[in-house]
Each structure stands twice: as C-alpha cells, then as structure tokens.
Amino acid sequence: MVTQRDLIASHLARFDSITPLEALTRYGVMRLAARIAELREDGMSIVTDTRVENGRRYGSYRLAQ
C-alpha cells in the first residue's frame, strides 16, 4: 500500500517542491506539514520556503541541495 508519505517523497523527487494546495488537490493530503516532519525524521533533507500570495502566507517544501 502506498502511503501519503510515499506520495509526497515521490513528488519531491520528481518535481523538487510541493505546496499544501498541491498536496491536497493531487493526493488528498490535508496535513502536509505532518508528512514533511515524518520524512525529515526518516532522514530526508527538506527545506521550507515561506511564500506570500494575496496576503496569505504558506510554506512550500523542497529537497535541500
């Protein structure tokens, strides 16, 4: 069975970054920050970038270079 964590890890490997909206619309992941925390605990090096659009702030996650 493919987990949400697996889906997010695969997405990061393929597309380099992911936002909460992408995670929700593509994979049905509502708690992206929790999945990112799990991936970090597993040893993945993930950077959080803060973005602001239309006065709203959110995190975008990408693999560290």
Q: What's domain 4-63's architecture?
A: Orthogonal Bundle (1.10)
Residue by residue, pLDDT tens for the chain (65 residues) are 999 999 999 999 999 999 999 999 999 999 999 999 999 999 999 999 999 999 999 999 999 98
Half-sphere exposure (Cβ direction) of 40: Cα atoms closer than 13 Å = 12
CA distance 24 to 32: 8
> pTM score, two decimals?
0.91
Domain ranges of the chain: 4-63
CA distance 40 to 10: 14
